[in-house]
């Protein structure tokens, strides 16, 4: 049976790099993003770059639970089994707790935490039935350290790491692996236009390779948390 992966926020940056490395290794994918035109462009690229792999796409705002549940239902419709879930979608809004907008925490929790929580809960019954699967939560170095102007973003990422730890404890006897990925700065659209040398930030493909490496371990091992930083350190 063909291997399958569901990846959120997969049209750009880290999500796109992760999608591509799984496709290169024979996975069929179901991905989502907010912008339908980006998903259509990704599908066109897939036809040429990965002609033997199926790519299902679904436009969704994961901060809205009703849309998220529609996406979850779609993934279960197109895939009879589920091997990998990558909760990658996220948003960054800078600001300190005392000065950020009134709704900043709510917005960041809805996208960075609640989306992973609800999508995982929706897909987990398939993995539990299989007694196999691997869940990746894309956390951040902001999950383990507070920094200036990080405010509610860091709060949401600390919480996502907490979710990962809880899932790991609950699922370790069910054949399901849970890995929290904690990357520092990596080149993506978020850093477009900044004036840094190319080697000052990691490549998105570096993070993707780390995810793939964690996945390829035997079923007897799991990477619980993986921290990646630029060689020259945090910005």
* Catalytic sites, residue numbers: 153
Decide if 74 contacts 121 (C-beta within 8 A).
Answer: no
CA dihedral sign, ordered 87, 90, 95, 98? negative
**C-alpha span between 38 and 57 (Å, rounded):** 10
Pure H helices in 142-188: 151-171
Crossing angle between the packed helical segments 13-24 and 204-215, to the nearest 10 degrees = 50
Q: Which helix (H) or strand (E) is 36 found in, with range?
A: helix 36-49
Whole-angstrom CA distances from 47 to 23, 44, 79, 117, 190 are 12, 5, 19, 32, 27
């Amino acid at each position: 049976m063909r291997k399958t992966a569901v990846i959120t926020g997969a049209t750009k940056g880290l999500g796109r790099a992760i999608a591509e490395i799984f496709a290169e290794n024979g996975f069929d994918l179901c991905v989502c993003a907010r912008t339908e035109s980006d998903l259509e462009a990704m599908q066109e690229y897939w036809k040429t770059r990965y002609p033997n792999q199926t790519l299902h796409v679904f436009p969704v705002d994961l901060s809205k639970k009703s849309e998220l549940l529609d996406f979850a239902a779609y993934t279960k419709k197109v895939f009879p089994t589920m091997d990998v879930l990558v909760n990658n979608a996220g948003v960054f809004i800078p600001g300190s707790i005392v000065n950020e907008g009134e709704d900043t925490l709510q917005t960041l929790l809805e996208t960075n935490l609640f989306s992973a929580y609800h999508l995982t809960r929706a897909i987990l019954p398939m993995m539990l039935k299989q007694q196999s699967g691997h869940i990746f939560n894309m956390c951040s170095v902001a999950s383990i350290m507070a920094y200036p102007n990080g405010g509610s973003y860091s709060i949401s990422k600390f919480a996502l790491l907490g979710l990962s730890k809880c899932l790991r404890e609950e699922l370790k006897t069910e054949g399901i692996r849970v890995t929290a990925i904690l990357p520092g700065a990596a080149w993506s659209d978020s850093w477009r236009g900044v004036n840094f040398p190319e080697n000052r930030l990691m490549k998105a493909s570096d993070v993707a390779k780390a995810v793939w490496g964690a996945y390829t371990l035997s079923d007897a091992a799991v990477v619980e948390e993986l921290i990646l930083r630029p060689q020259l350190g945090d910005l």
